[in-house]
Structure 1
Amino acid sequence: VGAGLFSVLGTLLLPGLALLARDWRLLQGLSALVTGLLLLFWGSPALFPESPCWLLATGQPARARKILWHFAEPGGVDPEDGSEEESSLVTELDMLGAQSPRPQYHSVLELRHTRVAWRNGLILGFSSLICGGIRAGFLRNLAPSEPTFYWPYFLTAGLEAAAAVLLLLTGDRWGRRPVLLLGTLVLGLASLLLLAGTQYLPGWTMLSLSVLGLLASHAVSALSSLFAAEVFPTVIRGAGLGLVLGAGFLGQAAAPLADVHGRGGFFLHHVVFASFAVLALLCVLLLPESRGRRLPASLRDADCLRGSRARRRRPPPPPHRAG
């Protein structure tokens, strides 16, 4: 969530870069050049090492041991001469590496064999899709008479930053599912009120509801990505997170459909996504709470995440002594 603030910073810097470039071709070339510099870090394991958690989950203990030792060296820690727990970890990794097992890679298509994990991913992807598609209606209500560029652009960037800060303050305190439920509720209410009161509400009310809906959509979108990273198992976490993010971009791609038939197309677009927002509110209730839980490593672990945290069993009473 904190890393999303850098995306907001790039959004705010883009108009200044466009003002300096003055030509869209030069601007496109500069953007491609900066993005291409990231390819220099492709083969740099020192800066971007592979996840040891993923390596262990896919049966690659030798590579995981090498990266863990690389992490320990800068701190002056020698795991082989450490505590008893560290020594046992070293021994276990050496035994796993001596067996030289073959890596066991997994595909996101294996979710179809699960009972719960596929449902959690579908709900989070659905929430991300709605947030990407419903923003077009809120943005159009910000400037209904004369389309302006800078006002909705900077307002959207500011609301995205505000949503990130809001999640940083509430995500760990209240939990993922309550915050996602609250954000989806606000999103649905704002869209329904705008849909029902377009001809009756004053302008300042329309503006306030649009701003509130945009804030909720950014918060739900970011939290859906965070939620997906915590409910998908380690073996397919990257692919699952990519599907949820892709669903959000797919929703954004549906925004131009609102202008196909003028006002009628926009009304239909708003009705569809407002209905989806209400449906998503019911689906969020089926999600588990991931705060304070261990990240699932395998598909079986992801299937054990239920709608609510399992209650702790009380210890059995002590046996009565005879006589």
Structure 2
Amino acid sequence: MGAGLFSVVGTLLLPGLALLAQDWQLLQGLSALATGLLLLFWGFPAMFPESPCWLLATGQPARARRILWHFAKASGVDPENSTEEESSLAMELDVLCAGHPQPRHHSVLELRHTHVTWRNALILGFSSLISGGIRASFLHSLVPSEPSFYWPYFLAAGLEAAATVFLLLTADLWGRRSVLLLSTLVLVLASQLLLAGAQYLPSWMVLFLSVLGLLASQTMSALSSLFSAEIFPTVIRGAGLGLVLGAGFLGQAAVPLTTMHGRHGFFLQHVLFASFALLTLLCVLLLPESRGRTLPQSLQEADRLCRSPLLRGCPRQDLLPLLPASSWGRN
């Protein structure tokens, strides 16, 4: 969540960069150049090493051993002359490496063979889609007449930062599902009130509901990503997170539709997303609570995430304990 603040900083700096460039082609070239510089890190795996947890879960202990040894030596620890427990773990890694296990790569399509994980993925993807799509409705309510570019642009960026700070303060305290349910409830109430009485409410009330709904949608988007990273198992966590993020970007594609055809279809679009937001509110109740739990390693462990009561966390025994290192090669 804290890393998401860098995205906000980039959003706030973009108008200044556009002002300096004075040409959209030059601006596009500068953006492409800055993004292309990230490709340089491809040749420096020591700066961004692969996750040892993922390597072990997919049967690649030799690569995991090299990375863990690199971490240990960088921390001033000799893996060969350490405590008895650490030495036994090192010995088990050596045994696994000597066995030459075949890597077991997994695909996100394997979700269709699960009973619970696919449902959690569908709910979180749907939540990300709706939160991204309904954002256009609240932005339209902010500027019902002639749109002003800078006001909604900087307001949306500021609310994204506020949503991130809100999650940093509450996600670990209240739990992921409770905060997601609260933000979805606020989004539903704000959208329904704007639909029912936008023409009868005073302007300050419309502004307040629009800002509140926009903040709730930003919170839903960020929390859906965090939630999915803790519900998907290690073997497909990256692919599952990509699906949820992709659903959010697909929802944001509805933003330009509000300016097409004289905005005649805006009301229907708002009704559609508000109805789906109400459905999302009911679906969130089916999600498990991931706070304080061990991250699932395999699809089988992820399928054992139970749906706990709303006001009480699910006991940790609902997940199988992590397998010892000596059994990774056999399971």
Q: How far did residue 182 of structure 1 move? A: 0.3
Which residue in 1 is equivalent to 2:245?
A: 245
Does the 8 Å contact 2:134/2:273 carry over to 1?
yes
- 1:121 corresponds to: 121
Alignment of 1:268-287 (within 5 A): 268-287=268-287
Show structure 2 runs of 5+ residues with no match.
309-313, 319-331
Q: Would you say the 8 A contact 2:140–2:258 is kept in 1?
A: no
| Aligned position for 1:94 | 94
Task: Determine the C-alpha separation between the residues in 2 that align with 1:191 and 1:259.
Answer: 19
8 Å Cα contact 1:258-1:267 kept in structure 2: no
RMSD: 1.2
SS of corresponding position for 1:281: helix
Q: Deviations over 1:55-96 (max 9, x none)?
A: 000000000000001111121111221112101110111111
1:171 maps to which residue? 171
SS of the residue aligned with 1:297?
Answer: coil
1:252-292 CA-partner distances (Å, limit 9, x unpaired): 11223334444441001000000011100000000000010
Paired position in structure 2 for 1:220:
220
Aligned counterparts of 2:37 and 2:317: Cα–Cα separation in 1: 51
In the alignment, residue 237 of structure 2 is paired with which amino acid? R
More moved, 69-78 vs 111-120 = 69-78
Q: Which residue of 2 aligns with 1:17?
A: 17
Q: Which amino acid aligns with 2:127?
A: S
TM-score, normalised to structure 2's length?
0.93
Q: Which residue of 2 aligns with 1:112?
A: 112
2: CA distance between counterparts of 1:85 and 1:284? 42
In structure 1, the partner of 2:82 is 82
Amino acid at match of 2:139: L
SS of alignment partner, residue 305 of structure 1: coil
For residues 85 and 118 of structure 1, the distance between their equivalents in structure 2, rounded to whole angstroms, comes to: 38
Amino acid at match of 1:286: L
Distance 1:312 1:41 in 2: 41
For residues 178-220 of structure 1, the C-alpha deviation after alignment (integer angstroms, 9 at most, x for no partner) is 0000000001110010010121111110000000001000011
Measure how far apart 1:310 and its partner are.
3.5
Q: Distance in 2 between matches of 1:66 and 1:270?
A: 53
1:207 to 2:207 alignment? yes
1:321 corresponding residue in structure 2: none
Structure 2 equivalent of residue 231 of structure 1: 231
Residues 259 and 265 of structure 1 are in contact (CA less than 8 Å); yes or no, is this contact kept in structure 2?
no
Whole-angstrom CA distance in 1 between matches of 2:176 and 2:222: 11
Q: What is the TM-score when the length of structure 1 is the normalising length? A: 0.95
Percent of aligned pairs sharing the same letter: 77
Report the Cα distance in structure 2 between the residues aligned to 1:12 and 1:136, rounded to whole angstroms: 19
Q: Which residue of 2 is the match for residue 319 of structure 1? A: none
In 1, the alpha carbon distance for the partners of 2:140 and 2:13 equals: 23
**Is the counterpart of residue 191 in structure 1 residue 191 in structure 2?**
yes
Q: Please state if 1:141 is matched with 2:113.
A: no
Tell me which amino acid in the other structure corresponds to 1:147: P
- Contact kept in structure 1, 2:293 and 2:316, CA below 8 Å: no
Any unmatched runs of 5+ in structure 1?
314-323
- How far does the alpha carbon of each residue in 1:139-196 deviate from its partner, in whole angstroms, 9 at most, with x for none? 0111111111000000000000000000000011111010000000001110010010
Question: In 1, Cα distance between the equivalents of 2:199 and 2:76?
Answer: 68
Residue by residue, what CA displacement relative to the aligned partner does 1:42-65 show, whole Å, maximum 9, x if unpaired? 121111100000000000000000
Q: Is 1:296 aligned with 2:318?
A: no
Which residues of 2 match residues 20-59 of structure 1 at below 5 A?
20-59=20-59
Deviates more, 1:76-85 or 1:36-45: 76-85
Which amino acid counterpart does residue 271 of structure 1 have in structure 2? V
Contact 1:167 1:219 in 2 (8 A): yes
**Aligned mates of 1:98, 1:183 — CA distance in 2:** 51
| Residues 192 and 274 in structure 2, CA contact (< 8 A), matched pair in contact too | yes
Aligned partner of 1:305 in structure 2 is 305
Q: Is the 8 A contact 1:287 1:307 kept in 2?
A: yes
* 1:236-259 residue CA offsets vs partner (Å, 9 max, x unmatched): 000000000000000011223334
Give, in whole Å, the separation in 1 of the partners of 2:54 and 2:188.
37
Aligned length: 313
Separation of aligned partners in 2, 1:74 and 1:98 = 25
Larger Rg: 1
